[in-house]
């Protein structure tokens, strides 16, 4: 009997591919600073993530203000302007990293026999569910920081916790949300991902 090159079923291969897609979406959405979009001085487009920002004012030596048109992270973790954003950075970062680890494991199972058993696939599916919940929690905490001075400056001065003012959610936030939806779907697919039962290996 030929040795199988993979322990995954056809559904399992689909699960592995979707797991990788979900990981790419969540990691990209987490890193790219386009969660929230507004305008500074009613003309300069400004975007925020949880720990990065695009376009920001900088004080010049002559006392003037210059707009720096580039994206970058805050200098230190504690420079992130809101405790809610700090928490969001930690939770979403953990979730995105975990989704990537699960995806690599699933992809490895496509090429190597006996990497993922039925039980292991279900455990990985459970991890994907928990990962999606962690990212959701981080995303839900993020709007609590909309009342900070930095956000109010670009949201018409009227933004507050869970109120956007003149700003709007931007595309990388939705990118991350799409990854979360895929993670939940992957968790369901994991139930039929493997053809190998525990302790069914042959010596």
Residue spans of the domains in the chain: they are 10-192
Q: What is the pLDDT of residue 116?
A: 84
Q: What's phi and psi for 201, nearest 5 deg? A: -70, 150
Q: In the CATH scheme, what is the code of domain 10-192?
A: 1.20.140.150
Residue 2 has pLDDT above 60, yes or no: no
What does pTM read for this prediction?
Answer: 0.88
Tell me the percentage of the chain whose pLDDT exceeds 70. 91
pLDDT tens for residues 32-89? 999 999 998 768 899 999 999 998 777 676 666 677 888 989 989 999 999 999 999 9
Q: Which residue has the tokens 């979360």?
A: 180
* 180 in Cβ contact with 172 (< 8 Å): no
Q: Using CA atoms, how far apart are residues 87 and 26, in angstroms rounded to an integer? A: 17
Q: What is the pLDDT of residue 186?
A: 97
Q: Using CA atoms, how far apart are residues 99 and 89, in angstroms rounded to an integer? A: 15
- Comparison of pLDDT for 101 and 3, the residue scoring more: 101
User: Starting at the edge strand that comes first in sequence, how are the strands of the sheet with 168-169 ordered?
Assistant: 65-73, 52-59, 44-48, 36-40, 168-169
What's the chain's average pLDDT? Answer: 89
Q: What is the pLDDT of residue 67?
A: 77
């Amino acid at each position: 009997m030929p040795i199988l090159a993979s322990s995954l079923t056809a559904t399992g291969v689909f699960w592995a591919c979707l797991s990788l897609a979900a990981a790419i979406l969540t990691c990209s959405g987490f890193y790219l600073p386009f969660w929230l979009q507004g305008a500074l001085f009613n003309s300069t487009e400004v975007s925020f993530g949880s720990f990065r920002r695009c376009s920001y004012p900088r004080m010049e030596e002559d006392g003037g203000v210059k707009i720096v048109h580039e994206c970058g992270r805050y200098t230190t973790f504690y420079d992130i302007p809101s405790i809610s954003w700090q928490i969001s950075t930690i939770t979403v970062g953990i979730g995105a990293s975990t989704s990537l680890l699960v995806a690599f494991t699933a992809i490895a199972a496509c090429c190597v026999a006996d990497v993922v058993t039925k039980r292991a696939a279900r455990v990985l599916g459970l991890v994907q569910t928990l990962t999606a919940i962690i990212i959701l929690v981080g995303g839900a905490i993020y709007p609590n920081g909309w009342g900070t001075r930095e956000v109010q400056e670009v949201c018409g001065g009227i933004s507050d916790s869970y109120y956007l003012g003149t700003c709007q959610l931007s595309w990388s936030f939705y990118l991350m949300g799409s990854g979360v939806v895929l993670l939940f779907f992957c968790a369901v697919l994991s139930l039929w991902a493997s053809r190998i039962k525990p302790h069914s290996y042959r010596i």
